[in-house]
Amino acid sequence: MKTILITGGTGLIGRQLTRLLTENGHQVRWLTRKKDANEPTLQFLWDWKNKKIETEALIGVDAIINLAGASINGKRWTNKWKKEIYDSRIRSTEFLFEILSKEKHQVSTFISGSAVGFYGALTTDKIFTENDIHGNDFLGNTCFDWEQKANRFSELAIRTVIIRTGIVLSKESEAFRKIIFPIRYGLGAALGSGSQIFPWIHIADLCGIMMKSVSDQAIEGTYNAVAPEQVSNKVVNESFSRALKKPFWLPNILAIFIKIFYGELANSILNGSKISSDKIINNGYEFQFKTLLNAAEELI
């Protein structure tokens, strides 16, 4: 049994992970900006912007799972929101490192989120692996800087794991809701060319990879967290239409409309390349949801 401190515990992934870790006998606590008396999880306050933290949160902690970060899909990417996306990842991770550098603790494992946006918003035939360089766009540079800060924890003799997450599919996820909404009304359609790869992962598998990272001492370094099946945007919409028994007949939505509606975020929607999951599979993780159709049927 381990004691695990989660930043971003109140988010979609954090809550699911908390449930699974607790069910498996671990003790979980959250670092949060605001305590909620209705939450059963033990909570401690922190404010990375002003560099404040209840250091009692670290007492007895074996592992930290860092999921803090403003939503990438939450709103249009204004310059102000891009700064929030960046700072909420890089500065919060930097602050955690500062705290562990000067406070007494027994933390032996640090697991940090990242994203497959590391590779950049582009569509190619290349299959990206963990050894590839980062893309030279906003998400690529943000993920690179985030990972640079996370890797510093190894300087403290802490086993460090970085998980580059694909688009998370869950009944409560923003991605799932946006996909399913038009399909429920028979209005499903591919976006742009429809040929761009959709690097997805079911939330059960993402949490499974994180749980393995907590318990398996051999897991160290960077891992892609994407399902092994590589599917296009068009296939995604077709699969969910099939699962809902809805027609899939509309023409593709033109890229220009996606760009008008989403702004810079549209680049990530209209582009996508294949991401390899071989490394985590070769390190012993077996996916529960290997195909999108299986995931779609479970979610529906």
What is the C-alpha to C-alpha distance for residues 39 and 47, in angstroms, rounded to an integer? 19
Q: 105: domain range?
A: 3-166+200-226
Distances 207 to 16, 212, 245 between C-alpha atoms, Å: 7, 9, 29
Could you tell me the CATH number of the domain that includes residue 82? 3.40.50.720
Average of per-residue pLDDT across 5-26: 95
pLDDT band at 74 (very low <50, low <70, confident <90, very high): low
Within a domain: 293: no
pLDDT tens for 266-294 read 888 889 999 999 999 999 999 999 999 89
Within a domain: 290: no
Average of per-residue pLDDT across 154-162: 98
Within a domain: 285: no
> What are the residues whose beta carbons fall under 8 Å from the beta carbon of 167, sequence distance 6 or more?
175, 198, 199, 200, 201
Domains contained in the chain, number: 1
